Amino acid sequence: MIQVKRVDEIDDRIGEFINREFTVFAEESGVVLNFDEFCFVAEDNGQLLGAITGRAYYNEVHIGDLIIGKDNRKSGIGSQLVKAVENAYSGKGYEKITLTTFGFQAPGFYKKLGYETEFVRVDKDPKLSKYFFAKPLEA
């Protein structure tokens, strides 16, 4: 009998299954997977100030999370972390960087960095409107 259950951690068995099947499906579809997970951090004397995470796959790099500690916001660390991702993936066969952010988070920040709004899913609470951004990468 099939059981569907929530797991709190992805263990090696689940991770290997996901990676294998993700890769097989891409190959069967004639698509180059080009998969790479990333995490860049900003530290000062061992103190974590910020982090950016995401995945690169197919023809794009997707930023999942950009988190800057409360005491270090508006210090340029966020821009440095985004730039680190752009530099790491430029010239590696990816066409663009994509991301989403909510209205209360950072739409203006990403626009300032040259990201273009592809779509806004408007919510009745503007703070919860979701912004979809993209920026071309250099080949």
Q: How does pLDDT run across 66-120, given as a tens digit for each residue?
A: 999 999 999 999 999 999 999 999 999 999 999 999 999 999 999 999 999 999 9
- 30-66 residue pLDDT tens: 998 989 999 999 999 999 999 999 999 999 999 999 9
3-state DSSP call for residue 5? coil
Chain-centre distance of CA 22, in angstroms? 18
Please provide the CATH number assigned to the domain covering 34-136: 3.40.630.30
State the pLDDT confidence band at 138, using cuts at 50, 70 and 90. confident
> What is the maximum alpha-carbon separation in the chain?
55
Rounded CA separation 91/30 (Å): 22
User: Stretch 8-16: mean pLDDT, rounded?
Assistant: 93
What's the mean pLDDT in 5-9? 93
Question: CB of 122 within 8 A of CB of 107?
Answer: no
